[in-house]
Amino acid sequence: MRTYVYDFADGGMDMKDLLGGKGANLAEMTRLGLPVPPGFTITTEACRTYLDTGDLPEGLSACVAAHVSRVESLMGRELGNPADPLLLSVRSGGRFSMPGMMETILDIGLTDAGVAGLAAASGDERFAWDCYRRLISMYGSTVEGVPGEEFEQALASHRRAAGVATDPELSASDLRDLVEEYKKIFHAHTGRPFPQDPAEQLEGAVLAVFRSWNTERARVYRRAEHIPDDLGTAVNVMAMVYGNRGPRSGTGVAFTRDPATGARGVYGDYLPNAQGEDVVAGIRDTLPLQELARLDAPSFARLGSAMETLERHYRDLCDIEFTIEEGRLWLLQTRVGKRTAAAAFIIAAQLVDEGTIDLDEALRRVDGTRLARLMFPRFDLSGAPEPITTGVPASPGAACGRVVFDSRRAAEATGPVILVRRETNPDDLPGMLAATGILTSRGGKTSHAAVVARGLGRTCVCGAEELDVDAEGRMFRVGDLVVREGDLLSVDGATGKVYLTALPVRPSPVVRYFEGELEAGSSPLVSAVDRMMARADAVRRLEVQANADTPEDAARARRFGAAGIGLCRTEHMFLGERRALVERLILAEEEGDVRAALDALLPLQRADFTRILEVMDGLPVTIRLLDPPLHEFLPSLEELVARTAAAPDDPALEHDRTMLSAVRRMHESNPMLGLRGVRLGLLVPGLFAMQVQAIGEAAAHRAAAGGHPLPEIMVPLVGDVRELAAVRAEAERVLAGVAGAPPIPIGTMIEVPRAALTAGDIAREAEFFSFGTNDLTQMTWGFSRDDVEGTIFPAYLRLGVIDESPFESIDRRGVGRLVRLAVEGGRAVRPDLRIGVCGEHGGDPASVRFFHETGLDYVSCSPYRIPIARLEAGRAALPAST
């Protein structure tokens, strides 16, 4: 028969799913012979059954009673025995730590009759009343929902009446009076007296812990931490030990090494004459743990040796909660301790040096998310004022500067600026380049602002919906507050918070190391990062390339370890002064005009490609032919309408009127599904041919100069092999006419679901595939990537429809299935087909793992995410831990 209850002696640390993290570790400590009070764990499965059916699993109560008997015999006390009652603690503990999110109830089993027995057995009447008042308030608030403030107010008024400042100064009779008052509060709210049956108390406490899995705060926490909602919590029931039994007792937390720096030693806090929750609640000031050596040297020594045992056993930093009862040490909890991102790297390297773990294990213990955290500059928040608003943290970093509202002024500004827009479009690029930070009131993590900002390494907070941006008036409002052009703003890309002041910023030593400005040995952190990167590079199978479209980005990508450019977008090359040429192309009425516009663009494109091929000499550069709808390069419809309507007959506006009719002609209801990508190549004669010619000539030029250019041509938005075949035929014709050009592979993006579904056909015409997972996600879900993150996703996350944005981390079941299908289909036709990914997911840790598992050859991501992808590709290639 299935058991829902495990004695601590029967579990182990590999049973976290069933016993929760806390229960599994209590069992492990028990097996190690460490001093853990006797107890048992009710499984997460029992919780799930209760939450599903509203009833406890059959037989659970009897099973619990049997385990209580075992605890009674080990402790030599009985539950409910008025002469010397056994008391129990009841604590939550799910698979993943959710600190403070669920319930704990101490001193279960105490009753009116038992309190006298406890006083007699302990020889301490004050202690007995203190336990009873704690039970009534904890039980009342967690099991029966009595407002906790009422208990707190009663406690405060008793302190005042007794003329004391702290709880330990209250006398036995003060506490006895307090208990009477607590019982009245309990009765007033529940209509019943405080329960005097210990078994009823225990069941009430267990049910309250089960229910606390679904409190609002627990749900919010799980959403933020990506913890599934259906795991349930285990319940740990343990014999009470007391830290509040006088000056030889106390409670504390300890770390086996400094969780901030990794330095070995005894770190933690100790609170004499107190119970656990007093430490966490911060009601009284704790002592540094070293003080315990002076207060109780034998217990301190025992604690030290228990900590050593745990570190050796877990081979990692552990944190411990302990209680000392009249000079006797008890361990109440341990777990592999939380740590800062920096400490994670440093401790992993230290454990290697100490011979505790090998480098592969060290690599398993760090991750790309933490590395990302270490790469961005941070604000020094000591003394910071309250933020004025919070948006979506879209591109990390700490930026401060003066507010500007348009890109031209940003580009012209002398000092650092924060570009504030409702949203950005490709036209804003010069301003985004000039700005240190970008703040928008619309859009989410894959909006234009976010994608471009990450690519550029600019800090970006987007979708700050409280902002009312009035670009014309050069100001924005947040509630009553008005912020004008020139005001100083600080934008925290790690948290999404925005401050109306200039906060001090610290640069990241890790980025300086990747840039080559700091030596690997310059600090323990940089040295640890260097070692993990070296190991990741040695074991990874996935190649890491960069999304880069300027020589500067390409150079940075190379410094950061990119093996090439996996996506060189060309749309930014058509902006600025070149827009006039694009306009000429669009407005051309005769073939000769088209030719003239293309001829003017050709040398400019050739120069663009030549410079990038030079920086990336010897490494592949995948150049994507023009993708976005052409009308994105034209002035806005609204502006033209306003200008021409004001003076309909003004001959000076003739050009505007022509432009207006072109913009109207090209207007599309769904431009992302319109005339873009390969469709442009097929419908705008000469456009792709010009780009291919420029690529061929740039490569020929570089080869003639003694370089080793390796360009590749990539066709966007293909949905059918015939689209690709047509572009390919034209490209081959053009390249055949370029003297001295090396062979240039031609491949395609897979970013339209139909391309994934017909990948076998497409592979006949493609020498490589690169998944454009931004568009593939957009089109698979039918989510407009520029809109949903600010509008639909917040609600979807709240409703639990999605756990995270599919634009950030690959949706394995849906989009991922298309990726797998396309890999299979493509390789069935062309077994040596090179396959990569160049959507934003190429730099996302969880997605990199998926691409490794799916057998891709490379991932391509923005330069600043290259180290993250390298690290994660290495981690994905490691064999499972033994």
> Which chain residues interact with ligand PEP by CB under 6 A?
567, 569, 627, 751, 772-775, 838-839
Place of tokens 């509203």: 54
Q: Is 250 helix (H, G, I), strand (E, B) or coil?
A: strand
Closest CA to 455 of 329, 328, 568: 568
Segment contacting Mg ion by CB under 5 A, of 18-26, 329-337, 662-670, 744-752 = 744-752
Distance from C-alpha of 842 to C-alpha of 810, rounded to nearest angstrom = 9
Of 427 and 775, which has the nearer Cβ to ligand PEP? Answer: 775
Of 334 and 547, which has the nearer Cβ to ligand PEP? Answer: 547
Distance from C-alpha of 404 to C-alpha of 111, rounded to nearest angstrom = 67
What minimum distance in Å lies between the beta carbon of 775 and Mg ion? 4
What minimum distance in Å lies between the beta carbon of 723 and Mg ion? 15
Of 202 and 546, which has the nearer Cβ to Mg ion? Answer: 546
Residue 767's binding partner, choosing from Mg ion, ligand PEP, none, with beta-carbon cut-off 5 to 8 A by kind? none
Of 310 and 451, which has the nearer Cβ to Mg ion? Answer: 451
Strand partners, 401: 489
Strand partners, 239: 88
Of 615 and 838, which has the nearer Cβ to ligand PEP? Answer: 838
Residue 569's binding partner, choosing from Mg ion, ligand PEP, none, with beta-carbon cut-off 5 to 8 A by kind? ligand PEP
- State yes or no: is 318 an active-site residue: no
- State yes or no: is 226 an active-site residue: no
What minimum distance in Å lies between the beta carbon of 841 and ligand PEP? 8
772 binds Mg ion, rule: CB under 5 A: yes
Of 437 and 839, which has the nearer Cβ to ligand PEP? Answer: 839
789 binds Mg ion, rule: CB under 5 A: no
What minimum distance in Å lies between the beta carbon of 836 and ligand PEP? 11
What minimum distance in Å lies between the beta carbon of 547 and Mg ion? 11
Residue 342's binding partner, choosing from Mg ion, ligand PEP, none, with beta-carbon cut-off 5 to 8 A by kind? none
Set 158, 448, 572, 631: catalytic member: 448
Residue 835's binding partner, choosing from Mg ion, ligand PEP, none, with beta-carbon cut-off 5 to 8 A by kind? none
Residue 838's binding partner, choosing from ligand PEP, Mg ion, none, with beta-carbon cut-off 5 to 8 A by kind? ligand PEP
Segment contacting Mg ion by CB under 5 A, of 230-238, 376-384, 513-521, 774-782 = 774-782
Cβ–Cβ under 8 Å, residues 168 and 273: yes
Among 150, 775, 857, 872, binds Mg ion (CB under 5 A): 775
493 binds Mg ion, rule: CB under 5 A: no
What minimum distance in Å lies between the beta carbon of 463 and Mg ion? 21
What DSSP string runs through 859-871? EEE-GGGHHHHHH
Of 124 and 751, which has the nearer Cβ to Mg ion? Answer: 751
Of 154 and 582, which has the nearer Cβ to ligand PEP? Answer: 582
Instruction: Compose the 569-598 pattern: x for residues touching Mg ion by CB under 5 A, - for all others.
Output: ------------------------------
Beta strands in 87-169 (DSSP E): 88-94, 104-108
Q: Is 545 helix (H, G, I), strand (E, B) or coil?
A: strand
Q: Is 628 helix (H, G, I), strand (E, B) or coil?
A: coil
- How deeply is 53 buried, as exposed, middle or buried, from its count of CB atoms within 10 A (0-12, 13-18, 19+)? exposed
What minimum distance in Å lies between the beta carbon of 449 and Mg ion? 17
Distance from C-alpha of 309 to C-alpha of 316, rounded to nearest angstrom = 11
Segment contacting Mg ion by CB under 5 A, of 119-127, 324-332, 745-753, 808-816 = 745-753
Cβ–Cβ under 8 Å, residues 558 and 602: no
Distance from C-alpha of 787 to C-alpha of 22, rounded to nearest angstrom = 42
Angle at 831 between CA 827 and CA 836, to 5 degrees: 60
Cβ–Cβ under 8 Å, residues 361 and 881: yes
What does the block give as tokens for 670? 């769904």
φ/ψ of 822, rounded to 5, equals -70, -35
What minimum distance in Å lies between the beta carbon of 697 and ligand PEP? 24
- How deeply is 801 buried, as exposed, middle or buried, from its count of CB atoms within 10 A (0-12, 13-18, 19+)? exposed
- Spatial neighbors of 787 by CB under 8 A, at least 6 apart, are 443
DSSP state of 646: H
Site for Mg ion, rule CB under 5 A: 751, 772, 775
Q: Which residues are catalytic?
A: 448, 838
